[in-house]
Structure 1
């Protein structure tokens, strides 16, 4: 009898363990990123695609007193990043050396429970979020601890905070997210970033069909 009871209790405890929800693989919205140690802040719009490991961020970056406006297209599977500077009208093409990092909840993340942003005392006065944390490793083998929050319904990212001894605390927040990709050409580089031959073949080279959810 005791054995049966223990097995029932163990089964109940396992059933109570929170499981990561699944973030939609494609979405768009606004972001705000800040790092006090680097004296840097960024405001921008993001198109995000975890199916084909790519993102596009059109941002206004402030580092100290310097302001920079960029259009950055990152194609992780092709290991290419295109960085267009709105001020200089120049586009820089560089190799991506860091691995793709998903904005979804990582499989090995630790749950820190749930909480309301705002209030739970009245209807429509708060947003229920789930809180998860863990570590990820950079290409230089530096381990970065993080803690992130996602909406309980829909599993959309709300915020992510990371800490590095070298770079300091970085706080990334997400706003006005919509599921899916509104423009199927958003992941095609600007004409300024391509050669004439590449531009003619841009849809063949970069126009992978997007999946909407």
Structure 2
């Protein structure tokens, strides 16, 4: 009997030692298969996802639609629009010639007409005065020299532009002008393109009504550099007298000339020299000149050849 028990015990141990390695080998094989299958399973999932997206887009396009596109949504303030008809005054500082001029302006966005009248300066005798009338429906510019009572008729080559903020303008800032409690909110815009182009135009417009307050325009053209700062004030909606757009009789008999390229000229002429010099005395200067040499260099005159100018 003891002999039988010894055989049974040793047979059981022998069978346990034989089966246990087999179980370990099977478990190890299972783990190895699972680790090798996992990347394949992920690739199959990605492939099935791409097939599903492709089927959806294919059905969308077959039904006559276009594939959706991603667009940048600008949730900030949009450029506003100034009213189509208004009048006011403007003070322009020319940083190149270090001179200042004032203008009375009338803007007719309905009839596509503009009128700019240069204001006289009482302390600059002999200064030439000009009245500009622009009719964009007929592409005609009337330049009236008020000193010599002459008129020059030329063609407008630039298309009509509303006096407003460009649609691609960049919002630079928003702030309040004036004293606390009595000021008004404005937005500052420019033609700057982030990471692509520096600004050459800056415009400050009121938030209420989109009225122009200040405009700065620069151009570093070496042959004709431009740098102007223009302030707008005394602005009123509408046009009090539409006859300001009617050219005078002296313009009706003039022949239309091609648009001239105006060069800068002195603010007033002739240049007088006195021997001995006369100081602190009032005197009148009479212009004895029978030719019209053209208007002074001005943002309102030169700026119309540029995209962002209102004139």
TM-score band w.r.t. shorter chain: 0.7 to 0.9
Using structure 2 for the length normalisation, give the TM-score: 0.51
Aligned-residue RMSD, C-alpha: 2.7
Who is 1:207 aligned against? none
Inter-partner Cα distance in structure 2 for 1:65 and 1:96: 31
2:106 to 20, 43, 47: 47
In structure 2, the CA distance between the partners of 1:33 and 1:100, relative to structure 1 (3 Å rule), is farther
The structure showing larger relative contact order (alpha-carbon pairs under 8 Å, at least 6 residues apart) is 1
Inter-partner Cα distance in structure 1 for 2:234 and 2:161: 21
Inter-partner Cα distance in structure 2 for 1:40 and 1:73: 23
- TM superposition shift of 1:34: 1.8
Who is 2:45 aligned against? none
In structure 2, the CA distance between the partners of 1:102 and 1:40, relative to structure 1 (3 Å rule), is farther
- TM superposition shift of 1:92: 1.0
Corresponding position: 1:167 with 2:225: yes
Please tell me whether the aligned partners of residues 190 and 199 of structure 2 are also in contact (alpha carbons under 8 angstroms).
Answer: no
* 1:79-117 alpha-carbon deviations (Å, 9 max, x no partner): 111111111111111112233333211111111121112
- Aligned residue for 2:250, secondary structure, equals helix
Inter-partner Cα distance in structure 2 for 1:53 and 1:41: 28
Who is 1:81 aligned against? 141
User: Which range moved further: 34-43 or 165-174?
Assistant: 34-43
Please tell me whether the aligned partners of residues 82 and 93 of structure 1 are also in contact (alpha carbons under 8 angstroms).
Answer: yes
* 1:146-166 alpha-carbon deviations (Å, 9 max, x no partner): 010111111111111011113
In structure 2, the CA distance between the partners of 1:163 and 1:194, relative to structure 1 (3 Å rule), is same
Which one has a bigger Cα radius of gyration?
A: 2
Inter-partner Cα distance in structure 1 for 2:120 and 2:138: 25
- Aligned residue for 1:186, secondary structure, equals helix
1:132 to 174, 189, 214: 189
Count residues with an aligned counterpart. Answer: 173
Who is 2:242 aligned against? 184
Who is 2:162 aligned against? 102
Who is 1:4 aligned against? none
Inter-partner Cα distance in structure 1 for 2:126 and 2:78: 43
Which structure has the highest helix share of the two? 2
Report 1:22-37 matches (<5 A): 22-37=81-96
Unaligned runs of 5+ in 1: 1-12, 136-142, 197-213
Inter-partner Cα distance in structure 2 for 1:102 and 1:15: 23
* 1:36-92 alpha-carbon deviations (Å, 9 max, x no partner): 213443212100022332210110378x99722111101123111111111111111
Inter-partner Cα distance in structure 2 for 1:54 and 1:40: 27
Please tell me whether the aligned partners of residues 30 and 45 of structure 1 are also in contact (alpha carbons under 8 angstroms).
Answer: yes
Using structure 1 for the length normalisation, give the TM-score: 0.72
Please tell me whether the aligned partners of residues 24 and 179 of structure 1 are also in contact (alpha carbons under 8 angstroms).
Answer: yes
Inter-partner Cα distance in structure 1 for 2:153 and 2:106: 19
Please tell me whether the aligned partners of residues 104 and 119 of structure 2 are also in contact (alpha carbons under 8 angstroms).
Answer: no
Inter-partner Cα distance in structure 1 for 2:157 and 2:129: 23
